C-alpha cells in the first residue's frame, strides 16, 4: 500500500467497479447503443475512468511495470479521442507518461495530441520534453496556481518545488476530486498524488531522499527508471 487514507480492500472494490463501468461503455459502443453525438464524450469518459484506475492501482501498491502497461494500452485511444478539456488532467497524463518511462515515440504522440488543447503551455511541454523544451516559459495557462512549480523549473529551485508540493492539496479545493476520501456512500477516491511535482523533480534531477514520506509525492514513480 502506498496510500495511507484507505485500505487495500477499498481499492480492490474501487478498481473492480471502475473496470466494470469501462466494459459496460465499451459494450455499448460496440453494440451501437450510443448516439453518434455522444460517442466522443463516452470515449472521453472511458479515458477518465482508466486514468482513475491507474492512479488507484498506484495507491494500492501495484507493481509499477503493470501500471506502465495500463498506460501504454490506453495511449492509442488517448491520442485519438482525448478532448483535452481539463488542464489538470492533461498535466497528470503528461506527468504519468514521463514518470512511467513511455518511449520517445509515444511521448511525441502524446505531446502532439495535448498541443491541440488551448491550454497547452510551457509546464506541460517541459514535463514531456525536459531540457529540449523550447516553449516560451512565460506561457503558463494558470500562472497563479503553478507559480512555485514553474519557478522551480526556471531557477532550479528545490525549495519552490517543496512549497508547491506541500501546498498542493490545500490549493486544489476547486477540483472535483478534492476531499473524496471523506465520501462514504460512494467510491470516488483514487488517491492524492502530485504527479507534476514528481515529474519536475525528476527532470531537474533534484535530490529527494527526504521526500519519501511526503504524503502527496509519488516517490516510487520518480525512481521507477
- Regions of the chain short of the pLDDT cut 70: none
Cell triple for 123: 509546464
Does residue 82 belong to any structural domain of this protein? yes
Does residue 29 belong to any structural domain of this protein? yes
Q: What is the per-residue pLDDT for 143? A: 94
Q: What is the per-residue pLDDT for 37? A: 83
Does residue 1 belong to any structural domain of this protein? no
DSSP string, 194-210: -HHHHHHHHHHT---GG
Does residue 200 belong to any structural domain of this protein? yes
Cell triple for 171: 490549493
Does residue 3 belong to any structural domain of this protein? no
Structural domain count, the chain: 1
Q: What is the per-residue pLDDT for 225? A: 80
pLDDT digits (tens, 9 = 90+) for 96-136: 999 999 999 999 999 999 999 999 999 999 999 998 998 99
Q: What is the per-residue pLDDT for 51? A: 96
Cell triple for 87: 488542464
Sign of CA dihedral 60, 43, 97, 211: negative
| Angle formed at CA 6 by CA 186 and CA 70, multiple of 5 degrees | 80
Does residue 98 belong to any structural domain of this protein? yes
Range of the domain at 165: 8-222
Does residue 2 belong to any structural domain of this protein? no
Q: Output the pTM of the full model.
A: 0.95
Amino acid at each position: 500500500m502506498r496510500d495511507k487514507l484507505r485500505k487495500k480492500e477499498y481499492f480492490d472494490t474501487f478498481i473492480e467497479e471502475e473496470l466494470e463501468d469501462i466494459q459496460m461503455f465499451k459494450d455499448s459502443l460496440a453494440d451501437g447503443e450510443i448516439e453518434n453525438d455522444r460517442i466522443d464524450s463516452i470515449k472521453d469518459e472511458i479515458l477518465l475512468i482508466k486514468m482513475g484506475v491507474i492512479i488507484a492501482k498506484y495507491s494500492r501498491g501495484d507493481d509499477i511495470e503493470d501500471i506502465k502497461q495500463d498506460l501504454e494500452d490506453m495511449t492509442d485511444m488517448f491520442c485519438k479521442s482525448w478532448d483535452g478539456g481539463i488542464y489538470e488532467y492533461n498535466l497528470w497524463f503528461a506527468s504519468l507518461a514521463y514518470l512511467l518511462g513511455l518511449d520517445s515515440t509515444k511521448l511525441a504522440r502524446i505531446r502532439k495530441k495535448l498541443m491541440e488543447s488551448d491550454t497547452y503551455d510551457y509546464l506541460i511541454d517541459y514535463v514531456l520534453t525536459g531540457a529540449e523544451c523550447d516553449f516560451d516559459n512565460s506561457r503558463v495557462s494558470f500562472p497563479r496556481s503553478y507559480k512555485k512549480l514553474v519557478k522551480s523549473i526556471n531557477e532550479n529551485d528545490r525549495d519552490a518545488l517543496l512549497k508547491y508540493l506541500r501546498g498542493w492539496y490545500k490549493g486544489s479545493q476547486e477540483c472535483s476530486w478534492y476531499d473524496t476520501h471523506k465520501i462514504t456512500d460512494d467510491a470516488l477516491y483514487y488517491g492524492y498524488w502530485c504527479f507534476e511535482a514528481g515529474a519536475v523533480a525528476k527532470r531537474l534531477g533534484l535530490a529527494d531522499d527526504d521526500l519519501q514520506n511526503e504524503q502527496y509525492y509519488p516517490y516510487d514513480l520518480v525512481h521507477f527508471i
